[in-house]
Amino acid sequence: MRLSDYKIEKSFTSTNGVCYITTSKLDGKRYFIKKNIDVTYGSENDPIELKRKHKQDADAWLNYHNQIRKEFTKLGNGTGTTVFPISYFVDEGNIYELSHYIEINKLAVSDAEKSKPSDKKICELEPDDKIRILQTSSYALKQIHALGIIHCDLKPDNVPISKSEMGGYISKITDCGDAIFENNIPDESQILCTEPYWSFELAAYKRGNEKAKSRLSCKNDVFAMGLIFHEWWTGDFPYYEGRDDFVELYRVVHKSWPNKIKIDSSVPKWLGDLILDMLYPEPEKRPSMDTVFEAIKTKSYESVIKQSKKTTEVKPSFDELKKLMSELPKGEEINKYTDDSYNYLKDTITFIKANINKLQTQAQVDKVTAKLKEAVNALVVKPQDNKFKKIEDAIATIESKDLSRYTSESRDNLLKLVNFAKRQKGELTDENNINRLYSAIVNAYKALSIRNDFSIEVISPLPAPYTKVEILSDDYVMAYYGESGKIKLLADNAIKMKLIRRK
C-alpha cells in the first residue's frame, strides 16, 4: 500500500502530522490518512547508525499502535460511534495512519465555528437534545475505557456532534490514533494531545515529573470530558480565576479548587455536581465513565467528593499526607536536586511539622497536602555536566517556540532532527558527532520558512487598550497592550474580542 494509491482531495496540517482526505484508486472508497511526522524510518541517505535507530523506534511505535488498533476492532469496523485507525502503512520511510472517512456536518461549539449566522450551536439546543448528546458520548467513551485504552486527546473537535437522518443528535469519538494503553504508558514525548484539555496529572508528566506517570489513567479522559460537557451545555469553559490563560487551565483548576471554579447557572445542579467531580484534581477521586453514563441516563447525581468531605470533617484523614511524607527524597537522593528547589521543599516540610497539630478539618489537611505536592513537583534536577548539554539547551529553546507559523516542510525537517537528538541522549558521546548534530539542528531552525496561508487576519483599528496583534498560528494570537503588556489568546477568543477575523 502506498500514498499514490489514493487520490488526495484535501490536505491540512495538524499538531502531530499532515492529514489527507482521499479517495482510494483501488476500491473507490473515501479514507482519512494521517502522515506521522514524529516517527519515521528515515531516508536512504541517512548514516547506517541513524538508519538502524530510526528502524528500531519506528518498529516499536508500529507494534504498540497496532496492538491498540487490534483492541479497537472489538468496537466494530471503525465507522460507528468510535472512529479509529483500520491500518498503518509505510511509504518512502514515512508511517501513514489509515481510517474510514466519515462525513460529519458537525454542530458548532462557538460562534466562530458557525458556517452561517443562522446555524445553531450545541449550547442552543433543547435540554433533552443536549442530554442525549452527553449520554451517547459517555457511552462511546466508557466502551473505549473498558478496553483499557486512554483516548488522550479529547476535545470538541474530536467528539463532533451532528444531526442524524432521523432528526436526532448523535456524537462520535474520532482521532483515536494517539490513544495509549492504561497499563503501558509510553514516554511523555510520545503522548500527543491538546494542552487546554490536559488533566493535572498529565500536565505534571508532560512537564517532566516522572512520578506522575503512575497516576495516568482513563481518569485523564474524564477530566477532559468534564470540560467538554460544560462547553456543550453553555458554549464556554467553567468560570475560574485567570480564565483568559486557557493553556494553564489544569494548573488554575488545581490551585483554585474548589471555591473559584464556578459552573454556569444554566447547568442543572446534578450535572454541575457531576462536572465538578469530573474536574477534581485528584484522578483517583474522579468518577469513572460508567458512573458518568449512569448519572446522565438517570439525570441524577450526588457528589461522592462532597459526601466524603461531610463524613470526614470531624475526624480528618492524614493517610495521603503521611504516604507523601514517606516518599520524600532522602540521603544521597537529595544531592541530585538544585539547592533552591530542595530548600523550598525543606521549608514546606518544616512548616507542615510545625502546624500538623493545628489541622482540624479535612479541608485543612488537603490544603497542606496540596502544598507539599506542589513543593515536590517543583523539585528541579541539577543539570549534568555533559557535552550533550548544548543540544538539550537548543531543543529547549525550540520547544518553547510556537512553530505552527512555519511551513510543514521546514518544520518536519527540524522536528525529525529534534526527535532523533532526544533518542541519542546518553548514547552519543563523540564530540565531533555532537557538534555536527548541534549544527544540523541550529541550521534547520534558521531555515524555518514562515507560512503565508493563515485563515485569520488582524482587524484595524484595534480596540483599546490593544496596540498590536501577532498571529502565531490559526489557533493562537499574541495581543499586546500598554507599554509592555501582552497575552496569548485562542483565536476564537480573539475573534470575540474583535481583535481578529476569519478571512
Quick one: the chain helix, strand, coil %, rounded to 5?
A: 50, 15, 35
Return d(Cα 253, Cα 243) in angstroms, integer. 10
301 and 195 inside one domain:
yes
Return d(Cα 499, Cα 112) in angstroms, integer. 13
364 and 477 inside one domain:
no
Q: 149-150 and 169-171 as β-strands: parallel, antiparallel, unpaired? A: unpaired
The reply to whether 382 falls in a domain is: no
The reply to whether 281 falls in a domain is: yes
Domain count, the chain: 5
CA distances (Å), 355 to each of 313, 327, 349, 364, in order? 18, 20, 10, 11
Residue 259 has pLDDT above 70, yes or no: no
pLDDT, tens digit (0-9, with 9 covering 90-100), for 380-432: 877 655 678 888 888 888 887 778 778 888 888 898 999 998 888 777 778 88
Which range of residues forms the domain containing residue 187? 111-312
pLDDT, tens digit (0-9, with 9 covering 90-100), for 182-204: 999 998 888 888 878 888 889 88
- pLDDT band for position 312 (cuts 50, 70, 90): very low
119 and 263 inside one domain:
yes
395 and 365 inside one domain:
no
The reply to whether 120 falls in a domain is: yes
Across 238-242, 265-269, 421-425, 458-462, least confident range? 238-242
Positive or negative: CA dihedral 110, 133, 18, 423: positive
96 and 116 inside one domain:
no
210 and 132 inside one domain:
yes
Q: Which of 312, 343, 368 is the last residue of a domain?
A: 312
Q: Which of 39, 67, 100 is the last residue of a domain?
A: 100
The reply to whether 133 falls in a domain is: yes
For the record, the C-alpha cell of 406 comes out as 512555519
252 and 299 inside one domain:
yes
Q: Which of 263, 283, 312 is the last residue of a domain?
A: 312
For 494, other C-beta atoms within 10 Å of its C-beta total 25
Residues paired with 466 in a beta bridge:
481
Return d(Cα 498, Cα 503) in angstroms, integer. 14
The reply to whether 498 falls in a domain is: yes
CA distances (Å), 401 to each of 90, 318, 405, in order? 30, 42, 10
Positive or negative: CA dihedral 399, 404, 405, 409: positive
pLDDT, tens digit (0-9, with 9 covering 90-100), for 276-301: 999 888 899 999 999 999 999 999 99
pLDDT, tens digit (0-9, with 9 covering 90-100), for 53-79: 999 999 999 999 999 999 999 999 998
**What average pLDDT does range 312-334 have in this prediction?**
81
Return d(Cα 421, Cα 412) in angstroms, integer. 14
pTM of the model: 0.61
Higher pLDDT, 258 or 208: 208
Higher pLDDT, 254 or 406: 406
Residue 319 has pLDDT above 90, yes or no: no
The reply to whether 383 falls in a domain is: no
121 and 267 inside one domain:
yes
Bond prior to 268 in cis (omega within 30° of 0):
no
The reply to whether 426 falls in a domain is: yes
Instruction: Look up the CATH number of the domain holding residue 282.
Output: 1.10.510.10
3-state secondary structure of 362: helix
120 and 259 inside one domain:
yes
333 and 404 inside one domain:
no
Residue 309 has pLDDT above 70, yes or no: no
- Find the Cα–Cα–Cα–Cα dihedral 107, 110, 114, 120, rounded to 10°: 50
For the CA atoms of the chain, what is the radius of gyration?
A: 24
287 and 150 inside one domain:
yes
341 and 486 inside one domain:
no
Return d(Cα 82, Cα 166) in angstroms, integer. 20
State the SS3 of 248-306.
HHHHHHHHHCCCCCECCCCCCHHHHHHHHHHCCCCHHHCCCHHHHHHHHHHCCCCCHHH
pLDDT, tens digit (0-9, with 9 covering 90-100), for 154-171: 999 999 998 876 778 888
Q: What is the residue-averaged pLDDT of the chain?
A: 86
Instruction: Look up the CATH number of the domain holding residue 25.
Output: 3.30.200.20
What is the per-residue pLDDT for 249? Answer: 56
pLDDT, tens digit (0-9, with 9 covering 90-100), for 91-144: 999 999 999 998 887 888 877 777 778 788 999 999 999 999 999 999 999 999
- Asked whether 280 and 305 are in contact (CB, 8 A), the reply is yes
- Asked whether 68 and 150 are in contact (CB, 8 A), the reply is no
The reply to whether 106 falls in a domain is: no
- DSSP run (H or E) holding 244: none
Cα 198 off chain centre by: 5
